[in-house]
Copies of this chain bind each other. A is one copy, B any other.
């Protein structure tokens, strides 16, 4: 992809230790934010001393940057899979489901991004205006095609994507609030199934009563 960034040669130990550090850093950064996290915390979570950690990543920012670059790919994978083949409504429904599953299975990754964006995305702004915008514009065009073909209701594709991001990631980023409000009973493990059912209904039929609801 990027030219000029020669991939450095690494020993087997370096590979493993770097992975260990990144895993620990994900845990710490996602819980405390970048400035709220210390190298010592990450080192302890990785089971090594601070100077040893700094032997593998020379600066705190390097860890964060590496994490972000890797995560962006994982995070956008569901959107990349949104394809023009297949039934549009089914395609959107499975996109929503997959995003919700990611919020459930990778909440740390979600919070890491949320933290970064919340504080103005100082470290990944170029990625947002570049890679991300390109991808979204591309998928928005696909969705627009579906609308023109009368397969789904006509509306703003960009804001549609935003609303899917917002509603699904909410269950990762605002997890403590969701659980506090739902209480011990409804806030247990079943909350993601409840959310999935609700979101499917919301995005397909909205809130209007009866009318000519569920087809097929």
Q: Which residues of chain A have a CB within 8 Å of any CB of chain B?
A: 31-36, 89, 92, 111, 114-115, 117-121, 125, 128-129, 132-133, 136-137, 150-153, 155-156, 158-160, 162-163, 165-167, 169-171, 173-174, 176-178, 180-183, 186, 194-195, 197-199, 201-213, 215
Contact = CB atoms under 8 A, between A and B. Distances in A.
23 contacts: A31-B120, A33-B36, A117-B173, A117-B177, A118-B118, A118-B174, A120-B176, A121-B180, A132-B177, A133-B181, A152-B208, A153-B213, A155-B201, A156-B194, A156-B197, A162-B181, A166-B170, A167-B167, A202-B203, A203-B207, A204-B206, A205-B206, A205-B208
Nearest to A157: B198
A206 to B, nearest CB: 4
Listed residue (A156, A165, A201) with the most chain B CB atoms within 10 angstroms of its CB: A156
Nearest to A180: B128
Nearest to A149: B209
A55 B210 CA distance: 61
Given A117-B177, A158-B181, A181-B158, A205 B153 contact: yes
A180 B132 contact: yes
A125 B176 CA distance: 8
A192 to B, nearest CB: 10
Nearest to A34: B36
Nearest to A93: B207
